[in-house]
Amino acid sequence: MAAKDLGALRLGIAGLGTVGAGVVKIIEKHGDMLAMRAGRAIEITAVSARDVAKDRGVDLSSYDWVDDANDLASRTDVDVVVEMIGGSEGLAYDLVKAALSNGKHVVTANKALLAHHGFELAKLAEDNNVSLAYEAAVAGGIPIIKAMREGFAGNQIDGVFGILNGTCNYMLTAMRETGRDFDVILKEAQDAGYAEADPSFDIDGIDAGHKLCLLSSIAFGVKPDFGNLQITGIRGITAEDIAYADELGYRIKLLGMAKRIDGELMQVMEPCLVPLSNPMGVIEDVYNAVFVACDALETPLLSGRGAGEQPTASAVMSDVVDIARGFNVSTFGIPADQLQDPNWMALEDTHGRYYLRLMVLDQPGVIADISAILRDENISIEGLIQRSRDPDQPVPVVLTTHDVRHGALVKACAAFKALEAVTEEPCLIRIEELE
């Protein structure tokens, strides 16, 4: 029996930056192949962006130009709104909400929007029997959303770990390879186009934090909760810390971690020492990686470029093809009404091993004072590195600990700062074995 002709799936694209223009290029280049794979043609009917005259390296003359992107939500010749505007509020939020309310599917790369409004928008999509798809919102071209939501559906997920920001990973790699410090590498990253003029969204962990929120929601069946995410960026990491980590057999990575621990959930984005013996430890440059700990599957590490025109546009098109095939799955893997309010573990109650660097004046009694503070907080030292320098200059004292409560180390660091011999803010970094 012949398949029913569903007609073309018609797209309205809002936002024609790097990714939006990349989506147009894929459809123009691979239209016939996409039609065969999807079982129907995929066409662009309308596009919208801020500047109609801008050269985007692609011919847009055959599509209707829409000055107000919100109009895409009500056009009768648009089945899917592809939102590439970005931002958690304003035009992107208004457009997605209107499109879903009008019974149109939405494909987006907007992790900030979903981290802040994911539960509301997921429920709206379900109420209108349409898809809210976002493979491109997390880790670029790595198919991690589909892997977790569909591929691992038969597993209980106990943890998700990810290197989720290419800018930070590039900078940490460059600091290790060159021995140069943060500010120098940041300037080079900006000059090379890897970091924005205002890099805070990346280097302070916000971008990666948005992505971790979405992975946590799928993993644990909870509402996205960016407001309670504990975030520390990479501004405090020095080339000296990276060199010490290397000497100890680790690499420093900005690592997103979401774990199930005794009925509570831990969700943290922070720099960690990751062992070189683990595949995550050797992910370098602009690459992203995600590891999922499951009960029925020894999950391989998924890695690839986390941003850029082709990887991200490819992820967008994977969602578009799913919609063309009639595949509609709950946004976060289960019906929105069944998503729970997360029971997060307080950061101070988390346990682990830690790297601690103190800059101290090389004078008698300093190590005794440090040891006394650690003793009072019941913190056991695993290893100690101390090297002499010019006696008139501060010297580093590097410690690694056995398993300890995070709150105890925070109290210890406050006591260290009160010592006259300690000249800088203590540097405290979690050691994450990824087991």
Q: Which two tokens stand for residue 34?
A: 């996409």
Please give the backbone phi and psi of residue 348, each rounded to the nearest 5 degrees, phi first. -65, -20
Residue 422 DSSP one-character state: B
Q: Give me 20's structure tokens.
A: 């939006």
Report which secondary-structure segment, H or E, holds 367. helix 366-376
Rounded CA separation 79/109 (Å): 18
Secondary structure of 6-75 in HEC code, one letter for each residue: CCCEEEEEECCCHHHHHHHHHHHHCHHHHHHHHCCCEEEEEEECCCCCCCCCCCCCCCEECCCHHHHHHC
Pairing of strands 80-83, 9-14: parallel
CA dist 34 and 364 (Å) reads 72
Of the residues 211, 223, 259, 411, only one is catalytic, namely: 211
In the residue annotation, 54 being an active-site residue is answered as no
* Number of Cβ atoms within 10 Å of the Cβ of 262: 5
**d(C-alpha 432, C-alpha 428), whole Å:** 13
Nearest to 281 by CA among 176, 179, 396, 206: 176
Full DSSP string of 270-314? EEEEEETTSGGGG--TTEEEEEEEESS--PPPEEEE-SSHHHHHH
C-alpha 185, offset from chain centre: 21
Report how far residue 358's alpha carbon sits from residue 412's, in angstroms, rounded to the nearest whole number: 12
> What does the CA dihedral 73, 69, 61, 105 come to, rounded to 10 degrees?
-30
Q: What residues act catalytically?
A: 211
